[in-house]
Structure 1
Amino acid sequence: MKNLLVIFLMSLGISISSQTNQQKTQVVEAACGQCQFKMQGKKGCDLAVRIGGKSYFVEGTKIDDHGDAHSKEGFCNAVRKAEVSGEVKDGKFVATSFKLLPTEKK
């Protein structure tokens, strides 16, 4: 029984560490995929992030969760910075956290 507990705890630790590696926090560009990143495949306006020069539609949060997308600083009119964690899966960014950063003053 003791060996089973040790094996279970070890497998749990391995699982947690592999998830942590895949879901590091990073700062990315965020905007409307269609309006700012010129992405195809969806109709309307959808939240997207650009990571390493490649754009991905976002799952786990929506464009309207972060204010008016069509305002002056909104995702349809501006590319913003966001602190995110999650992973790219099946060509989409699956967000586990998404924090929009304040706009930089010019």
Structure 2
Amino acid sequence: MKNLLSVALLLTVFFCNAQEKKESLKPQTVEVACGECQFGMKGKGCNLAIRIDGKTYFVDGTKIDDHGDAHAADGFCETIRKAEVTGTIVDNRFKAITFTLLPKKK
């Protein structure tokens, strides 16, 4: 009986997680920049952040320097860019699964 309950619990957790992952994989275009320099967030140093529907989140899964020089003229500390992302918000942080910086419009 214990084994049957354990299997049922595991299957429930598995299917709930599978459904959550599908929902989190929907790509969306967001604003991206240095959270401290451009979005006015409190932090220590320059850290990558995104803005979704007017709310800002620090990003886990990719770093500010993974996308070029943050302090260059087109860098995240100097300007707000756009990126296509997938991921989830956990504990008020964006956990990136994919992060594609879009070309800067001229």
Q: Compute the TM-score of the two structures, normalised by the length of structure 1.
A: 0.84
> Residue 78 of structure 1 corresponds to which residue in structure 2?
79
The residue type paired with residue 47 of structure 1 is: L
> Residue 32 of structure 1 corresponds to which residue in structure 2?
34
Matched, 1:103 2:104: yes
Return the alpha-carbon distance in structure 1 between the equivalents of residues 55 and 48 of structure 2.
14
Return the alpha-carbon distance in structure 1 between the equivalents of residues 68 and 15 of structure 2.
38
The residue type paired with residue 29 of structure 2 is: V
User: What are structure 2's unaligned runs of at least 5 residues?
Assistant: 1-9
- Superposed, 1:44-83 pairs within 5 Å as 44-83=45-84
Deviation, structure 1 residue 11: 7.2
RMSD after superposition: 2.0
Identity %: 54
Return the alpha-carbon distance in structure 1 between the equivalents of residues 72 and 98 of structure 2.
23
User: What are structure 1's unaligned runs of at least 5 residues?
Assistant: 1-7
Return the alpha-carbon distance in structure 2 between the equivalents of residues 104 and 67 of structure 1.
17
Return the alpha-carbon distance in structure 2 between the equivalents of residues 10 and 57 of structure 1.
31
Q: Compute the TM-score of the two structures, normalised by the length of structure 2.
A: 0.84
